[in-house]
A and B are shown apart, each in its own frame.
Chain A
C-alpha cells in the first residue's frame, strides 16, 4: 500500500478537526497549572513535584485523545476498505501512530518548557524532562493505540481504554519522572533513560503488529 497516501490522508483528517489535538493540549496545560494553585507556591516543593506532574499530565492527555484513534474509520466503514485482504493493516497503523504523535505528542513536548518554567525547573532538569518525554510520548501513543484497537466498537470504550493503558504505562511513568527526580537528587540518570528507551524500542517492534491484529478482529466482529 502507498504509505505517503495514507500519511497524506491522516494529515488531512487531523487538519480538518484541529480541536481533537488542541483539547488534550489545553487539558495538559490546565491540569499542570492547577498544581501550584492547589499545593502552594513554595519553589522547592514545586520543583520536586514537577517531573511527576508533567508526566502524569502527558499520560492523561494522551489517553484523552487516543481512545478515538480508530473510531471514525471504524464507524464509517473506511477501516473495512483499509484492511480488505490482501492488504496488511501495518501501514495504516504506522500512519496513524506517526500522525498521532505529530499532532498530539509533539505539541505536548513543545508546551512542556513553558510549564517547566512555571514549576521553576532549571535548564538541565528541563532538558532531561524533554528527553524522557521524547522517548515516552511515542510509547504512550503505541500503548493507547493498542487499547483503542482492542476496545474498538465496544460500549464504554473510553473507560476500558483507561483501565487498559494506565497499568501498562506505569513503567514509562516511573522511569520517565524518576530520571528527572534522580537528577534533582544528584543521582545517576542513565539507567532510567536507558530503560525508557528500551521500553520504547520494545513497543516499536512488538506493538504495531498487535495493533493491526486487534483491528482485524474488530472488523471481523
Chain B
C-alpha cells in the first residue's frame, strides 16, 4: 500500500477529503500538565479531528508520556479543559500485556475490552499467527510489541483516537512498515492518532508538535 504524501502544516495532517465534514475527536484548551507539582506542559491547545495524525516530539523527560496519559484520561490535567468526543485506544509505556497469557488470549481479551470482535486477521497483520499459542513471557521484545499493537488492526466500528507511546519501539523494519501502513489507513478511514516517538518513520506523514520548544 503506497504511503500518502504530506501536505500542509496544520495542527495535524488531515487525510480526509475537504468535502467530508470533519468530526472532532478530542479537544484540549489551555491544558497544563504537572508531575509532582512541577509543570511539564503549559497552555497547550490541541484539536484532533477525524483524519488527523500527530507526532509529539521532545527531549527525554519533557512530559510527552505524561501528556499522553492525560489526554487518555488516566491522569487529570492540572488546569485547562479536555473534552473527548470519541472512543480511545491507548498504548502506554507499559504495554499492558500479562506474561502468563498466550498471545491469542491476550489479543482476545484486549479486543473484548475495546468492544470489538477478535478477528484473527489482526494477528496476521503483524505476523503473529504462528505465535498465537505461545505465552507472552516467551516472546522477544519486538514480538511483544507486535502483540501489544495487534488489537489496533481490528476493524473499528466508529472513529477512534489512538494515543501511542513509542509505538515503533523494538520493531524490525518490516514491523515498522506494517505499523506505518496501519496508522496511515486508520487516519484515512476517519480515525486519528497521536504518537510519542523519537524515531523518524520515512514515508509516514503526520504533523509534528515539539513540547520542549
Q: Per DSSP, are chain A's interface residues mostly helix, strand or loop, or mixed?
A: helix
When chains A and B are docked, how far (Å) is the Cα of A17 from the Cα of B99? Answer: 11
**Which of A17, A75, A80, A220 contacts B90, CB < 8 Å?**
A80
Would you call B94 and A72 a contact (CB within 8 A)?
no
Q: Mark B64-95, 1 if CB is under 8 A from A, else 0.
A: 00000100111110000000100010101111
When chains A and B are docked, how far (Å) is the Cα of A5 from the Cα of B110? Answer: 10
Would you call B105 and A12 a contact (CB within 8 A)?
yes
| Chain B residues within 8 Å of A9, by CB | 101, 105, 109
Would you call B94 and A5 a contact (CB within 8 A)?
no
Would you call B100 and A84 a contact (CB within 8 A)?
no
| Chain A residues within 8 Å of B204, by CB | none
| Chain A residues within 8 Å of B84, by CB | 85
- Does B19 lie at the interface of the complex (its beta carbon under 8 Å from any beta carbon of A)? no
Chain A interface residue number, banded? 20 to 34
Among A1, A8, A83, A85, chain B packs the most CB atoms within 10 A around the CB of A85
| Chain B residues within 8 Å of A220, by CB | 74-76
- Does A219 lie at the interface of the complex (its beta carbon under 8 Å from any beta carbon of B)? yes
- Does A13 lie at the interface of the complex (its beta carbon under 8 Å from any beta carbon of B)? yes
- Does B96 lie at the interface of the complex (its beta carbon under 8 Å from any beta carbon of A)? yes
**Which of B72, B96, B98, B113 contacts A5, CB < 8 Å?**
B113
Would you call B100 and A81 a contact (CB within 8 A)?
no
Would you call A84 and B73 a contact (CB within 8 A)?
yes
* CB within 8 Å of B: which A55-90 residues: 72-73, 75-78, 80-85, 87
Would you call B75 and A84 a contact (CB within 8 A)?
no
Would you call B72 and A77 a contact (CB within 8 A)?
no
When chains A and B are docked, how far (Å) is the Cα of A85 from the Cα of B75? Answer: 10
| Chain B residues within 8 Å of A82, by CB | 113
Given known contacts A5-B109, A13-B101, A80-B90, A85 and B73 CB-to-CB distance under 8 angstroms: yes
- Does B97 lie at the interface of the complex (its beta carbon under 8 Å from any beta carbon of A)? yes
Would you call B74 and A84 a contact (CB within 8 A)?
yes
When chains A and B are docked, how far (Å) is the Cα of A129 from the Cα of B7? Answer: 74
Would you call B76 and A77 a contact (CB within 8 A)?
no
Would you call A1 and B96 a contact (CB within 8 A)?
no
- Does B156 lie at the interface of the complex (its beta carbon under 8 Å from any beta carbon of A)? no
Would you call A16 and B97 a contact (CB within 8 A)?
no
For B137, give the chain A residue with the smallest CB separation: A16
When chains A and B are docked, how far (Å) is the Cα of A5 from the Cα of B115? Answer: 11
Would you call B95 and A77 a contact (CB within 8 A)?
yes
Would you call B100 and A80 a contact (CB within 8 A)?
no
Would you call B94 and A75 a contact (CB within 8 A)?
yes
Given known contacts A1-B113, A5-B109, A9-B109, A81 and B90 CB-to-CB distance under 8 angstroms: yes
When chains A and B are docked, how far (Å) is the Cα of A13 from the Cα of B108? Answer: 14
9 closest cross-chain pairs (CB), A and B: A77-B94, A85-B73, A16-B100, A77-B96, A5-B112, A81-B96, A78-B96, A220-B75, A77-B92
> What would 16 more interface pairs be, CB under 8 Å, given A12-B101, A85-B72?
A1-B113, A2-B112, A5-B109, A13-B101, A16-B100, A17-B100, A76-B97, A76-B98, A77-B97, A80-B72, A80-B92, A84-B72, A84-B74, A84-B90, A85-B84, A220-B75
Contact surface of A with B, Cβ cutoff 8 Å: 1-2, 5, 8-9, 12-13, 16-17, 72-73, 75-78, 80-85, 87, 219-220
Pull 23 A–B residue pairs with CB atoms less than 8 Å apart, ordered by A. Answer: A5-B109, A9-B109, A12-B101, A12-B105, A16-B100, A17-B100, A73-B98, A75-B94, A76-B97, A76-B98, A76-B99, A77-B97, A78-B96, A78-B97, A80-B72, A80-B74, A81-B96, A83-B74, A85-B73, A85-B74, A85-B88, A220-B74, A220-B75
